Structure 1
Amino acid sequence: MKGVSKVYGTLHALSDINLTVNAGDWLSIMGPSGSGKTTMINLIGCMDSPSSGSVILDGHDISRESAASLTRIRRDKIGLIFQQFHLISYLTAVENIMVAQYYHSMPDEGEALEALEKVGLKDRARHLPSQLSGGEQQRVCIARALINSPDILLGDEPTGNLDEENEGIVIDILRTLHNEGATIIVVTHDPEVGDVAQRKIVLEYGKIVQDIDQTRPLDPKESGGRA
């Protein structure tokens, strides 16, 4: 993101944001409600376009692409995990994943089952969403996000509706995916989810106020956080 701003009427949701995320990074985006977190992830995820500035994905400036072009880029390069699960109620877990395959290329039940196995749910493949717990539904969402091998995995409050046990399961899955080379960007209010990332940025009033490398040991002399 280079000099990115997003304005809705008189509301400046983001103001002159400069941010680089490298392949294989795990970034958490934190900040109070209204700070611009969801706007930022919508821009990265090709769900919106900036009012000014450039959003560059894999060397390609997507800032002025049409809605149809953004849909194709999102389909081919980005996996999305939402707080609300957005599973189709009358389809089974494996069928929900196959829908994502359908819009990308061609459904393959074997690959969909492998994706469920990766999140520990192959034995629940034939269950409807109503027959799954909240944590299990979120794991189906992760499998759905992964099925087309996206370049970036984006999460918007992916543990927001989960209890502590299922939050831990989702964090462990994200940690495994990151160790396998996935690029992960997660918006969260939860300090535990934010702190497991390699890097954390904090937004306030549409601006980045902290950019913290969480892989570097904290120097006791530092009082303002690891910047």
Structure 2
Amino acid sequence: MGNKILELKNVSKIYGELHALSNINLTVNAGDWLSIMGPSGSGKTTMINIIGCMDTPSEGSVVLGGVDISRESAASLTKIRRDKIGLIFQQFHLISYLTAVENVMVAQYYHSMPDEEEAMEALKKVGLASRAKHLPAQLSGGEQQRVCIARALINSPEILLGDEPTGNLDEENEGIVVDTFRRLHEEGATIIVVTHDPEVGDVAQRKIVLDHGKIVDDIDQSATFGRALKLKTRQ
């Protein structure tokens, strides 16, 4: 869709005798929507930690936005993650005594200055403007996850990175969250989602399958992309 935004070149992650990742090569363009799948122990978590600037490779390089981040210090990686990556986790990690809009503003605090108007715009993007003043306990699981997506969006990241973002949701809320990703993707967002769920994996434009630390399949799903999304998000 766009320019190259992320490139992993010959990336390996080695822990003693264990090769968690072995010689991974992956290119992601701006506006892509990827799913990363594979059995437990396949290297998904290691890969997302490296892409999300939470870890560095033992070998190879990671180029994000034209900058090689593979040898950066922990402090530098924290800044890159804050500025360039929007993280969405399986666990919502919302602060229980803050409202939805305040939870979004917390992310601004660590980046620049809290701005309630901007935070409200982020909630509007995920369809939650009417729930802005509600506490997490007053929101459904799907609504809480959409607050997390708004929080991830607030600093205009280059990549939205989801780690099992639908793992704690029932089927209805999973469909709502996937539909949120669809709308963000239509607006130009670059999305990478690690998932165990074949249905969530199948709605991405491209599916990367890992096994024993290696990419064993790289599937272009653009031909069935729209149809799979309609089936998944139909309520």
Fold equivalence (TM over 0.5): yes
C-alpha distance in 2 between matches for 1:216 and 1:87: 37
Structure 1 equivalent of residue 175 of structure 2 = 168
Query: What's the offset of the Cα at 1:213?
Result: 0.5
Shift of 1:131: 1.6
Does residue 213 (structure 1) correspond to residue 220 (structure 2)? The answer is: yes
Is 1:91 aligned with 2:101? no
Give the number of equivalent residue pairs. 217
Which of the numbers 53, 56, 63 marks the counterpart of 2:63?
Answer: 56
Does residue 87 of structure 2 align to residue 68 of structure 1? no
How does 1:108-123 map onto structure 2 within 5 Å?
A: 108-123=115-130
Structure 1 Cα separation of the partners of residues 125 and 31 of structure 2: 19
> Does residue 34 of the first structure (1) align with residue 30 of the second (2)?
no
Q: What amino acid does structure 2 have at the position aligned with 1:104?
A: H
Matched, 1:178 2:185: yes
CA–CA separation in structure 2 for the residues paired with 1:122 and 1:59: 35
Instruction: Please give the alpha-carbon distance, in whole angstroms, between the structure 2 residues aligned to 1:92 and 1:24.
Output: 31
What are the equivalent positions in structure 2 for 1:13-24 lying under 5 Å apart? 13-24=20-31
- The Cα offsets for residues 60-105 of structure 1, whole Å up to 9 and x where unpaired, read as 1000000110011111111010000111122111111001001111
For 2:100 and 2:41, locate their aligned partners in 1 and report how far apart those are by CA, in whole Å.
34
Q: 1:114-134: CA deviations, max 9, x gaps?
A: 111211111211111122111
Which amino acid is 2:19 matched to?
Answer: H
The SS at the match of 2:217 is strand
Asked if 1:154 is matched to 2:161, the reply is yes
Q: Distance in 2 between matches of 1:214 and 1:117?
A: 29
Paired residue secondary structure (1:155) = strand
**Runs of 5+ in structure 1 lacking a partner?**
218-227
Change (3 A) 1:216 1:120: closer
Shift of 1:9: 3.2
Partner of 1:224: none
How far, CA to CA, are the matches of 1:90 and 1:13 in structure 2?
A: 39
Percent identical among aligned pairs is: 85
Of 192, 196, 216, which aligns to 1:189?
A: 196
Distance (whole Å) between structure 2 residues aligned to residue 196 and residue 20 of structure 1: 19
What TM-score comes out, normalization by structure 1 length? 0.93
**Aligned equivalents of 2:59 and 2:153: distance in 1?**
31
CA RMSD of aligned residues (A): 1.0
SS at match of 2:29: coil
- Alignment deviations for residues 184-203 of structure 1 (CA, whole Å, 9 cap, x no partner): 00000111111111100100
Q: Supply the distance in 1 between the matched residues of 2:55 and 2:222 (Cα, whole angstroms).
A: 31
- Please give the TM-score of this superposition, normalised by the length of structure 2: 0.90
